[in-house]
Structures are given as C-alpha cells and as structure tokens.
Chain A
Amino acid sequence: MAIIFTAVGFMTALGLLLALVLVIANKRLYVFEDPRIDQVEALLPMANCGACGTAGCRPFAEKLVNGETEPARCTVNSKSMNEIIASFLGVDLGASEKRVARLACDGGGNVAYVRANYGGLPSCRAAALVAGGGRGCSWGCLGFGDCEVVCGFEAIRMNRQGIPVVSEDKCTACGDCVTVCPKDLFSLHPISHRLWVACVNLEFGDQAEEHCEVACTACGRCAQDSPEGLIQIRDNLAIIDYGNNSLASKVAIERCPTGAIVWLEADGSVVKGRDARKVLRKGALPVA
C-alpha cells in the first residue's frame, strides 16, 4: 500500500514541479504578439502570391497591423473584404489601384510568320534558347504557354492563335508571368492604363511588317494625333508615357495602319483603330 502512495505522491510532486517550470517559462519567456495579426490574416485570401510585395499573407498582415502598408495593396482580396480589414483596423483602405499583367505582343499564329519549326520541349523558355524559337520576329510571343502554366489564378488562357489572354478579373498582378516569360513581354499596369502598344519589335517599317502583320512600324501617326507628351517614337517603337495617362484617348489608335496600338475596354474587349488592317484569317500562317 505504502508503495502506491509513494508513487502517486512522487508523480504529483513531479507534475507540480514541471507545471511550475512551465508557469515561469510562460511568464518570463512570453513574447507579445498582437492578436489582431491572426484576425487580419484570417481575412486575407491566403494565396501567398507575393503581389503585395511581402513574402506572403502572414507578413502582409503583420505590416498591416503595424501600419506599414494599406489593405488595398492586397490585389487578390475582393474590395469588400479589404474594406472590412480597413474598418477592423480603423485605417484608410488606401488608394492602391488594381493592377493587371499586360502582354506587349499580339502576334498570334494567324499574323506572325514562323520561319523555322521548333521541335524540342514544348516550353517557351526551351524554344527561346534554340535560335530564339523560330518566329520571324525575334521579340515576339512564342506561344508555348509557359505563362498559362505558371499562373496560379488561372487568369491566363492561350487563345486559338497561341497568344495568352489575361483575364482582368482574375489577375492579381502577382508577377509570376512577368518573370517566367523568356521574351520579357509581360508587365504590370494599373487598370486605368487603357491605351496600349501591343508590340515590342524594334525594326522600322516594312522590315517589321515582313515578320508580323500587326507589328508597330514606327510610322509615328499615333504620336502626331495624340496630345503632346503622351506618345513618343523611340527605337522604332511607340512608347506611351503613362505619367500623362490622363491625356490618353482613342484618338491615338484611329490611324494606326497595323493596329499595333489598341484601346483596352473595361469589359476585356480590344478596340483597334478605324484604319487598322482587318485580319480575317483565323488559321495559322504557313511556315515560310
């Protein structure tokens, strides 16, 4: 009988001793963490995409609670959820405008010539390493869809002509497509940038058009028609100064002969100018 009491007593004493150590540790080694971080984190989309500029949603929540950033910087969250976070923290929503990825090429298989067949791994990166991929235009989209694969939000779909189309609703501007494209064709833009040059070909006139029917030929009509300072021709390419984006209008696209400069409507449709070449061909061009 005595042996049972000894055992129970010893275990009780040991338990109390260890509990005491835990109590002391809990008091002495306590790190204060704002409970709001967990609550804010729960309101975030947990996509961990990095579009806000931090490593993931948790660090973003920490920054929000510390007042180092604004709720609107999270581009994945819906506006109403961001408003909830703002009111929860008692801060401004922030004026961050939704940004989307834009592709500076429209040279699909029906308008851009392929000069050589590439037969290796079906990946843009791999094709770009073999003589640039075989497209006549050495700057243009290769159309193997590395961006479609890498997009975690299913915002990019390859169209029939092999050109990626970005869904403005789904795009969160995380920048994965920007880094994956071997031709550096994607860039992130605020959604208000509606005037867009869908070409990066640095050749002039017929040379540019020889490889692609919708290339920018650097004719300069868009620059002449639009207000001073909006569009410049640099390196045989029209460059839009988005610092003067308020001046942008559809006037610039009207006389473009190839339709390289376009107006992107909010509903996702692409408007080409009155004088733009009408491309009726739907199928791919022959390899030539």
Chain B
Amino acid sequence: MKHQTAVLDSQRVPETGRSSLMKRLDQGLLRFFHGHKTFDHGIYPIEHKELTADKPIRRMPFADELVIPLLQHKGRPAIPLVKVGQEVVRGEPIAQADHFVSVPMHAPATGVIRAIGLAPTAEGPKTPAIFLKVYHAASQQVLYDMERDPERMSVKEIIQAVQDAGLVGLGGGAFPSHVKMHPPAGRVIHTLVVNGCECEPYLTCDHRIMLEQTDALIRGILIALKATRAERAIIGVEDNKLDAVAHLRARIARHLPITAEAVETKYPQGAEKMLIKSLLDLEVPAGGLPADVGVAVFNVGTLAQMGDLLPKSRGLIERVVTVSGPAVKNPGNFVVPIGTPVRFLLEQVGLKGPLGQVILGGPMMGMAVASLDVPVTKSVSGVVALEPEHPSLARRQVYPCIKCGECLNACPISLNPSMLGELALAREYGTMAEQFNLDQCFECGCCAYVCPSNIPLTQYFRIAKSINRDAKTRHEQHLDATKRH
C-alpha cells in the first residue's frame, strides 16, 4: 500500500439519484401526510447509508504511530507541552490552548513522543504535529480523570472545562465548542439546536451515536443547555433515521426541555443555517451567526463526547468515524484514536482493489486527500474510498452555461451560481463578492451537482474566494506599511 495513488478531482460529482422533480413530488406527498419540516431548494443525492447504517460502533486498534497535528480546529494552533523522547499516558495533555479560540490536545494512546515535526494534512500544506509511538503492550487505560458533577459547576467553569477537554465541532466544522457557548455581547440564546441530520451520503456515525450513546448525548445536551442558558433543545434528525428519532423520544425523560424532531432528508439539511430554518423558521442574516437569531447549534457527536468527557474531566482522544465507500471490503462505524493515519484505517477494513479516491468527510463537502499518511483529526467524520472506475471520477466534458436555472433552484442560500460562474470566467472576482454575495457561499456543492453542463461551479467559487482572501491580506499589509511611514 506504500505510495498508493489517489486521484484528486475537485469536479467530483456523486452519481445522480432519481430526477429531482420525481423526488420533489414524492416528498410533497410525504410532507402532506407526515409534515416533516424542511428548507427551500437543496438536492437529493443517493444516500448509500445502507452500507453502514446498521453496523454497531466498534473499536479500531491502535496504529503503530499516531500523528497529532497541532492545528485540528479553527483558530490558533495548540502549543506542545511535551518533549521528544518523553513518555505519555493515554489521556494526558500534550499541547495547550493558545488563547481563547484554540483548544488543547491529549495523548490518544500510551506511548513515547518520537518527534515533533511536519506532517501532511488533508488541506495540503504540511503543518507541525506531534508523532506518538504507541506502546502496544500498555493497558491503554485512561488514568487522567477526576469525577465531577456538571450540575454543580457554574457556567464559567463549564465553558472552561469544555475548552480543557479539547472539544471542537465534530460534525466537520472543527470550531472550538467553548467559543460557541460564549455568545457575542447582547445576544441571548433561547434555543439549542442539536444537529443529528448527517445529510452527507455514506456517513452514518451520528446515526449510530444517537442510537448507542443516547445517555451521553442527553447528558451533553443538558450541559450545553446550562452553559448557553438556553430554554430548550431540539434535536433535528433527517427522516431517513426515524428509528433514531423514536429511540431518542423514548429515552428523553418527560420533564426535560428536550424534543427530537424529524426533518426532511435533503442535502444540505445539516448545514446549521438550513437546520435553523427548517426547525424554527428563523433566518440567520447574511454574514451573521446563529447567535444573531438566538440559536446555538451543536453536532450530536460533539454533545455525546461532552456528556461523556466532562463528568470525568477527560480530554477528547478518539471519535466515531464512518469508514465506507464502494472500494471498502468491510465498511463500518469505528471509534478511532485521533491521529490514526488513513492508511491504517483502510488496511483494517480491507480494500476490494486499487483506490481511486479517498475522501475525508462526506463526498459532497469532504476533502480528497493526496496522501494516505494524512491522520484522522477531530473534524473527520468519515473516510470514503472510491475505486478508480467510480463514475463520479470520470472526466466530464464541460459545456457552456445554457441558463437553465437549475443551480438557482438548488442553491440553499438563494445565490445566483450561474451569474457567479460567468463572472468567475471573466475573472471579475471583486464583483462576485461585492454584488453577488460570494462570501455567503459555504461550498455545499449543490450547484455543481445539478449543472447539466458539468460546470465546476463550486471550484470556481473556491478559487474566487481564495484570490479575494489573498488580495485582502495584501491590501491590509499595504495599509500597515503606509501607516508606518
């Protein structure tokens, strides 16, 4: 498996499901009878969840060496606390948070620090990381814990404890959780939205967490309710997981202000703005945060970890990952130590043949990796492996825009992808941002998915955003330079 080749293709489009019109008609009837809430626009990709939906969560063995990047979250990288050659015990803090928007790291296994150096990441650039050689003979017991009762802790203590646990959004955003619990001044959180949608194809880890870690999830919701001072919590689950809804409803005690609601199975239902619209009919203003409409959104995986770790004062050292895809022999949901290389994961589940593409996260918004040495970080919810012949990897001829308007009907935030695409071709990147709200695009990929001309719209927008970002930094540097003189 050494140097296994992977195809990087940003024009990747999963194979199309039923025609959206038929699906919409079906959904219309369903909603007529069931009344599941939803948002406007969006798409219906084939789900492929049957591969792993009924596979209970199992534990993945420890790899020989774990690679723990110091920046696995949004914000500033953590500062290492360990030295090369130092022995660490599972759960021991190995890096501390650098200021408020940052989280610490904990040792995912008992072992010795082999090196602190550069490691490949899914985004591309190599970043500093801690290399931990695992002692396979060790008991791997987590010794770093202390019982405490979150109900007796103050809000401030809880927020500090969440940061100390190294918790970030496990749904894929990797935004430090404690920052979200701290709403901007003047904002009052009234509702906690718990995101159990899991709208990406293939992924089932949140589904399994809702079924198997229900008590930890409810504990986590109660902690988050207390920390955000919200009055109620709503768990939003897509209606392809009605068993999870029924299970949650049965387990939530009657007196608790928590409800579980089914929402329509539609991509990108799991985007926080879409879910808030579906559940509460509130619209987060452009460029705003959910806190602007009094809502905080947490992923079920994050809250289940919170409910598990906080009462024991432990740190985040592992997460549930769905390993799936047509190239995988034994797909499943696994508890994976943070830092496990993707290569090891794929060796454990077995491959049917050569690999075409490996995606971290789901196939819609996930990242194709260039190297199998990339480790599983806190934000990786799934590893999807495709074979080289997979239809979504086929080169597609790009045709000119025929102005059919499918992308306008697909864009969940009602942008005009067609117009933005034309502007991108004309290199009018500034106009795209100033007049057509490019910055609101969260790159869900719906427009490129529905485009009959195979125009890689999402990739155009990512290029435009990257160029605008660069121009902005240069402008700021220029302003700084002129200020000094």
Which A residues fall within an 8 A CB radius of B? 115-121, 123, 125-136, 138-139, 179, 182, 202-203, 207, 287-288
Contacts and interface: CB of A to CB of B under 8 A. Distances in A.
A133 B459 contact: no
A199 B371 CA distance: 21
Interface in B87-120: 117-118, 120
Contact of A116 (B370, B460, B462, B470): B370
Contacts of A139: 125-126
Contacts of A130: 8-10, 124, 367-368
Contact of A125 (B3, B7, B117, B466): B466
Nearest to B471: A179
B3 A115 contact: yes
A234 B49 CA distance: 49
A207 B393 CA distance: 31
A179 B474 contact: yes
Contacts of A288: 3, 5
B463 interface: yes
B466 A182 contact: yes
A9 B5 CA distance: 91
A118 B9 contact: yes
Contacts of B395: 119
Contacts, number: 99
B342 to A, nearest CB: 12
A116 B7 contact: yes
A116 B5 contact: yes
A254 B72 CA distance: 42
B58 to A, nearest CB: 28
A119 B11 contact: yes
Contacts of A138: 120, 124-126
B122 interface: yes
B337 interface: no
A128 B124 contact: yes
A152 to B, nearest CB: 14
B126 A131 contact: no
Given A126-B459, A129-B462, A203-B118, A120 B9 contact: yes
B5 A126 contact: no
A133 B10 CA distance: 10
12 contacts: A115-B371, A116-B368, A117-B8, A119-B9, A120-B8, A120-B9, A129-B10, A130-B368, A133-B8, A138-B126, A203-B117, A288-B5
Nearest to B3: A288
Nearest to A117: B7
Given A116-B370, A179-B474, A129 B466 contact: yes
B236 interface: no
Contacts of A120: 8-11, 456, 459
B123 A131 contact: yes
A126 B7 contact: no
Contact of A121 (B6, B10, B125): B10
A121 B8 contact: no
